[in-house]
Amino acid sequence: MNRSDIIILTAEKANIAKNDAKKILDAFLESIENELASGDKVTLKGFGTFETRKRAARKVRNPQSSEIITIPPTTVPFFKPGKAIREMVEGINIYPDIPETEKSGTDIYSDEKDLLTDNQSAGETEGIEHPNDIASVSTSKPKVIAVTSGKGGTGKTNFVINTAIALAQKGLRVYVIDADLGTANVDILLGLQCRHTINSLIDNPDLTLMDITVEGPEGIKIVPGGSGLQTLAELPSEELARIIGMLKPLEELADVILIDTGSGISRNVVDFALASDEIVVVITPEPHSISDAYAIIKVLNGKEMKPPIKLVFNLVESNLEARQVSMRLHEVTERFLNLVPETIGHIVKDDNLVRSVKQFKPIVLYNPLAPSSRCFISIADKLLPTEEEVKSPESKERGFLGKLRNLFSRAAV
């Protein structure tokens, strides 16, 4: 029984949502860990016994340098189910690949990422699976979401990071492409050190997408950006096809791709947005942010390809302010563009969010119960790929990579 099994059982028996069950389990495990720190085991009658076990040193491959490194031995909590738990799961094969003699207990973190003590990812550990808090969608293609804003300073990148993690916590494979030209900083906000960026693909033909991809919290994958993206439109057609073709593995590896575009209405921003399945515009309540958001919505709405545009209002004081700002923008877009973009949520001002940024830890991990965390999780629920979205047939030309190639290879306007 791993952590995901316990979450599912808790949700079913208590008739609550899996996200709520996860929060309960996290708080429960934190309490258990505090007890384990001062003793060797904690026994809950009927439920089971928690104790500490040594996890042996492991050799893993660093995705940044491809070198083999050793993660030293560590101590992790270990759970042995009691009678009540065993009766609950009787007849359910929750150990499909484990010999009978090994079913007496389980490392409750066996489906989590490596428990590293710093902010850098050392790579994936063989045999460790990602948590799967919801039934995985059987995808035939990833859902691509471009996140943009009319101006800088709206919290767009922070939105991308926290939303990506919230989606990954639901069992989805999430990739983030940092396409914010000049100020690419997804890796910086996560405290990661990237040896390569998308620039490297252009400069070094021997590198692949996996060579530059780094792993972030909860297993999200980051494709670090760089100013080299500005040259895509200027590349010869063969070189352009090579660079964009390097993104092809994402079609098999990802359930969701979040693209952190730049701000404003530059050609690069517009092209990445138009090639996506959905566009999310992040806006703050300030008048200039609203007017700049209207400008980018107007530009996108005037193009032949029109992915659905959705709005998120960041740094609002209250639900009331979010509704007022949303209504104000809706009135203008409906009057002049005959368009009413869907507002999918807002993020409240939160001191916890400020503190989390200073510690290079996304708020949904720093404090999952903080007001802003609940906002991010709610918005992520509305961005989940549907069966219709991931299974809709597309030609190569109409898929994400095909549209991206066509957009960047067209004549400059």
CA separation, residue 245 to residues 42, 142, 145, 404 (Å): 53, 16, 19, 10
Share of the chain above pLDDT 90, in %: 35
Give the largest Cα separation in the chain, rounded. Answer: 71
Instruction: Report the distance separating Cα 23 and Cα 51, nearest Å.
Output: 21
Report residue 11's pLDDT band, with 50, 70 and 90 as the boundaries.
confident
Name 170's Cβ contacts closer than 8 Å, sequence gap at least 6: 133, 134, 380, 384
- pLDDT for residue 412 is more than 50: no
Instruction: Report the distance separating Cα 358 and Cα 253, nearest Å.
Output: 31
Q: What is the pLDDT of residues 257-276, one digit of tens each?
A: 999 987 888 777 888 899 89
Amino acid occupying residue 265: I
Q: Are 281 and 261 in contact (CB under 8 A)?
A: no
Q: Are 158 and 187 in contact (CB under 8 A)?
A: no
- For domain 143-409, the CATH architecture is 3-Layer(aba) Sandwich (3.40)
Higher pLDDT, 260 or 112: 260
Q: What is the pLDDT of residues 329-360, one digit of tens each?
A: 999 999 999 999 999 999 999 999 999 998 98
Q: Specify the fold of 3-107.
A: HU Protein; Chain A (4.10.520)
Ranges in the chain annotated CATH 3.40.50.300: 143-409
| pTM exceeds 0.85 for this model | no
- pLDDT for residue 45 is more than 70: no
Share of the chain above pLDDT 70, in %: 65
Closest CA to 350 of 312, 322, 380, 318: 318
Ranges in the chain annotated CATH 4.10.520: 3-107
How wide is the angle at C-alpha 21 spanned by C-alphas 16 and 23, nearest 5°?
A: 135
